Structure formats: structure tokens, C-alpha cells
Amino acid sequence: MVNINYSSIKQKLSKQLSSSGWDIVDRYIFSNEFHGILEHLVKGVNDNKRFTPKIKYLFRAFEECPYNKLKAVIVGQDPYPNLNVADGIGFSSSLNNKIPTSLNTIFNKLEESIDNYERNPDLTRWANQGILSIQTALTTQVDTIGSHYNLWKPFIKSIITYINDNNTEIVFVFMGEKANSFSQYVNIHPTIYCSHPASAKYKETWKANDVFININNKLKEFNKSEIIW
């Protein structure tokens, strides 16, 4: 039986976010909804259903992408379903030196179209430049993709809606059908859709829709600095 000090967890997560400017996320940490998510995760662990990433990484995408630097939002599908791979930033894997399959597909596409990019699985550098890379769920049960989708759906909806309503000149990217279901909450910003990079496992190529070039093209239109991938 895992015993959890919920108050301590919330305080630590809030402290990690303290300089990020994401007040909406900080408020969420102390909400009844998030408390319910924590209880669900703990119950799963007690039932031998482990989850990933670790709790301390839940809002790392927001920690590393300060609200006042936000340029683009990339929405993927699920965290990597293996232990010690997902690190809280969508597609990133800073916990070991291995490049996950989906990220390898992304790097291969970057190699085709971008001269200046870094093949490093730690995508903190993207976040620090203004890329908020999140998934449709911030956790998943180990080896069970999509298991926490409904758990996080209200939060992801609220984040996308908030960014849409309270910001100007933000680029939204939706990778895959599940992610694209959230595009309905964006109505005043440019949106880019492409298939999920994991689809390349079943097809010859990833239909990326020149997503990384298109992000930078939109940023140039907004007179914002381009992302160095």
C-alpha cells in the first residue's frame, strides 16, 4: 500500500511552477479535479498498475516553457508508455541517452528539411524557446497507451481554450487524430495538422505536413524569432 501526502505533492508541484507564469496550472494543482487524478494514480499503483511519467514531471512542459515566452503549442497523443522514458515534455526523453521511435521519426524528418537542428532526445531546448509540447494525457499506465486519456481530457481542453482566448499570434499543432479532436477549441490562431510520428511504424513515411518549417514560417509572419530545432 502506497501512502501519499497529497498536500506535500501539490506544494512541490506548485513550487516548481513558481517562476513559469502559468497561473492557470498552479490553480489547477490545488483543485478538486487534480486531487481526484492523484487519487486515481495512487489507486492504480496500489493495484499494481504503474504509471509514467513520475509525478514530479507532470507539469514539466509548463515549467520549461514560461507563459510569457509561449510561441507554439504542439499536442501529441500519450507519454511514452515505458518506465523512465517520458520526462513530462511531449516527445522528449532526457532520462537516458536513447532516442524513442517517435522522436527518431521526428529527427529524421528534421534532417530532411532543416539545416540547423540537434539530434538530442532532451527537448528542453524547444520548451525554453517557447514550444509548449504536451500530450492529450499527461500520464499513461505503463504499457497501456490511452489508458488515462479521459482522466486528463478536461485539463487539456481547459489549457487549449485558455491559450486560445488569452493570447495572440500562437501557432497550434495537432499530431494525430486524438490530438486533432482538441482543435475545435482553437478559433483565433493558425493551426497545423499532421499525422502522429508513431504512424511511421505502419507506413513507409510520416506525413508530417512540413510541420517544423510551417511553424517557423508562421512565427516569421508574427515577427517572432524562429525555433532552432
**Catalytic positions, written as ranges:** 78
The alpha carbon of residue 221 and the mean position of all alpha carbons in its chain are separated, in whole angstroms, by 24
Coil, helix or strand at residue 186: coil
d(CA 138, CA 57): 9
CA-closest candidate to residue 72, choices 189, 156, 198, 181: 189
Which stretches of 26-179 are assigned E, i.e. beta strand?
A: 51-52, 72-75, 131-134, 140-141, 171-175
Contact status, residue 87 vs residue 67, Cβ threshold 8 Å? no
